[in-house]
C-alpha cells in the first residue's frame, strides 16, 4: 500500500516538532517555579536580619487568620475586621 507509507512519511517530522514544543514547555516551567523561590527568599529575608526579636514577627504571617480577621480579595492582605470596607465583603478600606 503506497498510501500507508505516504502517511508515515510526514508524521515523523511532526513528532519531532511536538518534542520541540515539549522542550519549550519544560523551559517555561522553571520560570513558573520562580514564584516558589520568591516565597523562599521572603522567608529567608525574615530570618536573616535578626535574632530573637524577629522570631515573634515571624509568627505573624505564619499563623492562620483569626476569626476577627479577613483576607482582602484585592490586596490579599489579612486585615482586621475593622479594616473591612463593608460587611460581607472581603475588601479592605484601602482597596475599596
Q: Residues interacting with Zn ion, by CB under 5 A?
A: 72, 74-75, 92, 95
Maximum separation of any 2 CA atoms in the chain, in Å: 80
List the grid coordinates of 23.
522542550
Q: Which is nearer to Zn ion, 20 or 73 (CB)?
A: 73
Q: Which is nearer to Zn ion, 11 or 71 (CB)?
A: 71
Least Å distance between CB 70 and Zn ion? 10
Q: Which is nearer to Zn ion, 6 or 94 (CB)?
A: 94
Least Å distance between CB 83 and Zn ion? 8
Least Å distance between CB 19 and Zn ion? 45
Amino acid at each position: 500500500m503506497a498510501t500507508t507509507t505516504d502517511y508515515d512519511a510526514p508524521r515523523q517530522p511532526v513528532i519531532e516538532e511536538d518534542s520541540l514544543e515539549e522542550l519549550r514547555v519544560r523551559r517555561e516551567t522553571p520560570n513558573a517555579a520562580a514564584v516558589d523561590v520568591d516565597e523562599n527568599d521572603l522567608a529567608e529575608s525574615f530570618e536573616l536580619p535578626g535574632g530573637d526579636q524577629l522570631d515573634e514577627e515571624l509568627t505573624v504571617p505564619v499563623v492562620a487568620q483569626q476569626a476577627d480577621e479577613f483576607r482582602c480579595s484585592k490586596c490579599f492582605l489579612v486585615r482586621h475586621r475593622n479594616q473591612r470596607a463593608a460587611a460581607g465583603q472581603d475588601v479592605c478600606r484601602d482597596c475599596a
